[in-house]
A and B are shown apart, each in its own frame.
Chain A
Amino acid sequence: MKTLLISELVGNFAENKDDARDIRLNTLKPLVDKGEKICLDFKSVDSTTQSFVHALISQFFQDNGEKALSIFEFKNCNKPVKTLITTVINYSLE
């Protein structure tokens, strides 16, 4: 399993969608395509935005449906981050 420490990539308030898109396209997508499991570690992230989480992970849930739930693990999420991840996954899954 590949672990990404989000705060190292985008800081304590994860909001930059350009960064989210870059991480999704250049790091997450190649890993998903290879069938790897991914752990997104939100340690030290105070909060995030719906737009950031959407740009980061929505594609995988839109494309793969509930299968994506077994690809991703979300570690060290505080309540706001958990809420936003759940919100995005809920509406991304069809």
Chain B
Amino acid sequence: MGKLYIPNSISLRNFDNIFKGNDFDFNDGDITISFHPQYVAMAPVGLAFYAAIGDLINKNNYTKAASMNHSIKSIPYLQRMKLFGSLGFSDIRTTEIHDETGRFIPLTKIRNGEELTSFIKTIDPILHTTRENSRTIKHVFSEILRNVIEHSNSPYGGNVCATYNKRREKISIGISDIGDGLKKALTKYHHPDSDKRAIELALTPGISGATKRIGGNYENAGAGLFFTKCIAQATHNHFLIYSGSSYYKLKYRKNQKYKEFNPKPFDDFCTIKEGLPYFPGTVVGIDINIKDDKAFNNLIERIGTAYRLGVKKESKDYYKKIKFT
């Protein structure tokens, strides 16, 4: 019988907790889920990961059972974030429903472009942001979820959720899918020989699963994950991507300024792990500071320059020749 143990704390910082006592091998068709007996603190990256496990259960029609200490204090939070429903269980307690505004976005499924556009429209009222202050957040949501819709081949689309830490003015985002995973998605044109190599390719500017051409085609530039990683890097936040049996975690040094972004992801200040329990899909976690309007323009410009240099090894700027009126 396959077992899934959910530990007491999962965040980008301590993501490795997710592997404690787990091999994610449920091939015998049964899965028994157990939680830490005293406490379960779970950031969006963890919630998104378990939502993908829920999709895996549905996809393979696994028989499931779960046990949990009902006195755990975080149960209302986990319910409101729709963790239990995502795993295919009903809620444990009847709780008072508070308004979601300004605090969190519970686990939500995004299956196509229309659902993504509708979702993006809900972000400002939910997070109490202005349209000017939420450009970076929307950019990240849109780019990563677009990747899921276009490249993952997941029958359930993507799972997304977020929490807002008002004191630190930081939003934490988790996005997952139970699709092909990065290695298979990149195999047609780039032939990665490992999950680690697939992650490296996915984060390299100009590499797209839709074409072998470096720099992409008419519709894909191979820039979405690179932009997202650089946004985390520039704002001194964590970024994690886990697919197959590898993960890449961007770390940060306090007070380090990134004047130029590195087109080679493994040269970043990061942790790369191989030989992890196999997860047949992709999970992305990122933290973003919310009041970054002034930084956004400059940031996109610098990321764009890094993309251009990474792909073309030259730095010609056509700004003055473009007709802006």
Contacts and interface: CB of A to CB of B under 8 A. Distances in A.
Contacts of B304: 50, 83-84, 86-88, 90-91
A20 to B, nearest CB: 8
Contacts of B319: 86, 90
Given A77-B324, A83-B297, A91-B304, A62 B218 contact: yes
A54 B216 contact: yes
Given A18-B113, A86-B318, A86-B319, A91 B312 contact: yes
Interface string A69-94: 10011111101101111111111011
B267 interface: no
Range class of the B interface residue count: 35 or more
Contact of B117 (A11, A54, A85, A91): A11
What is the predominant secondary structure among interface residues of chain B facing chain A?
helix
A94 B116 CA distance: 32
Contacts of A69: 318, 321-323
B273 interface: no
Contacts of A93: 316, 318
A49 B152 CA distance: 20
Interface string A34-74: 00000100000011011110110011001000100100111
B215 interface: yes
Interface residues of A, number: 44
Interface string B274-312: 000000000000000000000011001101110110011
4 A-B pairs closest in CB distance: A87-B304, A59-B218, A15-B142, A18-B113
Interface of A: 11-13, 15-19, 21, 24, 39, 46-47, 49-52, 54-55, 58-59, 62, 66, 69, 72-77, 79-80, 82-91, 93-94
Interface of B: 113-114, 116-117, 120-121, 131-132, 135, 138-139, 142-143, 146, 150, 215-216, 218-221, 223-224, 227, 296-297, 300-301, 303-305, 307-308, 311-312, 316-319, 321-325
Given A80-B297, A88-B304, 13 more contacts: A13-B120, A39-B325, A46-B131, A50-B143, A51-B220, A54-B223, A62-B218, A74-B323, A74-B325, A75-B325, A80-B296, A84-B304, A91-B308
